[in-house]
Chain A
C-alpha cells in the first residue's frame, strides 16, 4: 500500500528526514516512536503533502502511484488520512458544511453522486457513535473552541466519516486524559479492517496498550534506527530512548 524509499526531507535547508525506508501493507498497524525532534511529525506532514517541507531525495509509492505527483487533496481522495497533532480551528466553517464537502469530494473522485442530505445526516449519526462525539460539537465551526480532547476526538470522527485506507495518526494521544484516550483508541480499533492500514505516531507507549501495533519503529535523528514487534515499545517504555541513541551513534 505504502512504500517509502530513502526519504530525505528538509525545511529551509535543514535536513530533518535523512533516509527513511518503510513498507506498510494493508491490514497492518505500524507504530512510529521516537523522542522529540526526531522527525516523526515531519514524516506525517510529508506523507500528507504539506508544502512547507522540501523532499530532497527518495520516493514514495502509494496505492501503486507516485505520491509526489499528487496534491494533498488527491492523496486524501485516494484514501490517505492524516490525524493532526494540532487540529486547526476554522471559525465560520461549520462542521456539517466541511464534512459534507469532504465526503462529496471523495464520492466525486470515485464517480459517485453527491450524498443526499438525509443520507448524510444518517451517516453522521452512525459515525458519531464510534467516537462518542457530542452533537454540540458537530453543530459548531470546525474545531472552534474545542478542548484538546475534543479536537482529537473530532479527528477520529472525520476519519470515520471518510473511511480511509491509510490513516496516519500524529500524536493523537498527546493531551488526552485516560478516558479520552480509551475512546479515541476504541474508535481507531473499530475502524480497523483487513483492508486498511494505520500508522500511529506517538511519543509514549501508553497508546499502544489500546492500539496494538504489528510493527514498532523507532525514529531518531531523521532515520529509523530500530524496528521490531510490539515488545519493542515496552522495552522503550522501560529503558527510555537513551540506549538507542547510544546504539545508533556507534
Chain B
C-alpha cells in the first residue's frame, strides 16, 4: 500500500489521507480505539504540524521532515524474506524476549501475543485490542494528550498497531522484553505506531526498546508510548536509538505513576538524523520515584531535542532528570526540562541536570530548565552546562603518555559513563559501554549484524 502525502499543504494532506483511508485505519480494531480518531483529527486540524514559533519546538524544525513524500503503512508490509536473516541483535548474553516491529507493525503475524501463566501478556497492540479489549480499553489513550499535542493527536488518529505489554498485579517479568523497531523499505516511509505498557500493582518489569533503520531511505516515525505504573510497581525502560542520518524520529512518551511506584526511562541516542524525544511524566501518587535520563552523541548535521515534563501532583515523591550529550561537527541539540510541583506536592524532591560537551565551535546546544513550584516545602535543583572537555584532565592523561586524541576519547567516554551506568540490565550496560566507545571513536556504531550496511 503506497500513498503519497503531498508536501504542499502538510496538514491538509494528512486530513485527506485520513478521510481516504478511514476504513482501512479502522479495520479490525475495536471502537474504543477508532472512536478516538475523529476527535484527535479535529485537534490536529486546529494545531497543525508544530513550528519553531511554538515555544516547545523553538529549536527543532520539523518542516523538512514533513515536506517529504512518504509511503504510509495501513497494513503490515509484506517482505519475501525472513527479517531474522538480515537482522540479529548481538547484545551478548542478553536473555530477553525479542519482539520486532517492522515499519510500525508487529512482525510475527503467526504469534502476535505471548501470554505467560502468571498472566503477563506482550506482543501486538492490534492483537491485544481484540483479544483483551477489557484491559486495553481501560488504558488506551488515557494519558497521551491528543487534545493539545498535535503530534500525539496525529498519532492517535492514525495508530493501528504497536507494542503491548501487560504485567498483572504482583507479577514479575524475570527477563526483560526487548522491542526492536525496524524500518525497511525501497521507498521513504512514515510510521505512526503506538505502544501501551501497563504495570499493575506490585509488579516489576524491565524492557528495552531499540530503533534501527535497515535501509537507506528517508523515514519519519511519529510514535506514542503510554506507560501506566500502578501502586508499588516498578517499570524500567532502556531505549537505544540508532537510525541513520536520513531518519526523523519523533517519540512521545507519557507515563503515569501511582503511589510508591518506580519508573525509569533511559534513552541512549547513538545516531539519528533528527530526534525529538518527549517525556511527560505525571507523579499521580505519593512517594513515587521517577527517573528520566538520556545520553546523546551527535555529529555532522544531526539534531536532537529532548523535552521533559515532570508533574509532581502529590507529596513525597522524588524525580531525577539526567541528560548528557556530546556534540561534534555542526550538530545541534536542545534540552527543555520542566518541573512542575503542584501546591499539594509538599516534600517533593526534584532534580535536573543537563550537561553538554561541544567538540567544535560550530556545534550548538540550547538548554532550558523550567521550574514551576507552587508548594513551599520542596527541594529542587537544576543545572545546565555547555562546555568543552576539561583541560586539566586532558593534560593529566597526556602527561602519562596518552596521546591527545585518546585522552579526549577517554574523557568523553567518562562523561557519558554516568548515564550508561544507570542501566540496570548488566549485559545491555556492557554492550552500550562498547557501543558508545565505538561511536565516540567515530567507528560505525551498528549494533547488529545487519547486511544492509546503511550506516
Residues on A facing B (Cβ under 8 Å): 48-51, 71-73, 75-77, 81-82, 84, 87-88, 90-93, 97-98, 101-102, 105-106, 109, 141-142, 158, 162
Contacts and interface: CB of A to CB of B under 8 A. Distances in A.
Most buried by B among A81, A87, A98: A98
A97 B399 CA distance: 16
Contacts of B404: 71, 73
Interface residues of B, number: 23
* Majority secondary structure, B binding face: helix
B417 A91 contact: yes
Contacts of B413: 92-93
A1 to B, nearest CB: 18
A226 B337 CA distance: 61
Interface string B395-436: 111111111101100110111111000000000000000000
A84 B400 CA distance: 11
A66 B398 CA distance: 18
A91 B396 CA distance: 13
B432 to A, nearest CB: 14
Contact of B397 (A48, A49, A92, A98): A98
B392 interface: yes
Contacts of A90: 393, 396-397, 410-411, 414
Given A91-B418, A92-B418, A141-B414, A101 B402 contact: yes
- Which 10 residue pairs across A and B have the least CB separation, nearest first? A92-B414, A92-B417, A76-B401, A88-B396, A72-B398, A102-B400, A105-B401, A73-B398, A93-B414, A77-B401
Interface of B: 390, 392-393, 395-404, 406-407, 410-411, 413-418
B400 A93 contact: no
Contacts of B399: 48-49, 72-73, 75-76, 81-82, 84
Contacts of A88: 390, 392-393, 395-396
Given A88-B392, A90-B411, A105-B406, A71 B398 contact: yes
22 contacts: A48-B399, A71-B404, A73-B399, A73-B403, A76-B398, A77-B401, A84-B399, A87-B396, A88-B390, A88-B395, A90-B396, A90-B397, A91-B418, A92-B415, A92-B418, A93-B413, A98-B410, A101-B402, A101-B406, A105-B401, A105-B403, A109-B401
Given A93-B397, A101-B410, 15 more contacts: A48-B395, A50-B395, A71-B398, A82-B399, A88-B390, A88-B392, A91-B418, A93-B410, A97-B410, A98-B400, A101-B406, A102-B400, A141-B414, A142-B396, A158-B400
A70 to B, nearest CB: 11
B430 to A, nearest CB: 13
Nearest to B416: A92
A122 to B, nearest CB: 20
Contacts of A48: 395, 399
B417 to A, nearest CB: 3
Nearest to A103: B401
Contact of B396 (A84, A106, A141): A84
Contacts of B390: 88
A174 to B, nearest CB: 18
Contact of B402 (A73, A81, A84): A73
Nearest to A72: B398
A162 B396 contact: no
Contacts of B415: 92
A65 B417 CA distance: 39
Nearest to A84: B396
Most buried by A among B400, B406, B416: B400
A90 B411 CA distance: 8
A93 to B, nearest CB: 5
A31 B403 CA distance: 30
A142 to B, nearest CB: 8
Nearest to B415: A92
Contacts of A73: 398-404, 407
A106 B400 CA distance: 9
A73 B405 CA distance: 11
A162 B413 CA distance: 23
A92 B417 CA distance: 6
B399 to A, nearest CB: 5
Contacts of A102: 397, 400-402
Contacts of A141: 414
A105 B403 CA distance: 8
Contacts of A87: 396
Contacts of B403: 71, 73, 105
A76 B410 CA distance: 18
A224 B411 CA distance: 38
Most buried by A among B396, B397, B413, B414: B396
A88 B398 CA distance: 12
A145 to B, nearest CB: 14
B400 A76 contact: yes
A101 B398 CA distance: 11
Contacts of A97: 410
A162 B411 contact: no
Contacts of A162: 400-401
Nearest to A109: B401
Contact of B401 (A50, A51, A84, A106): A106
Contacts of B401: 73, 76-77, 102, 105-106, 109, 162
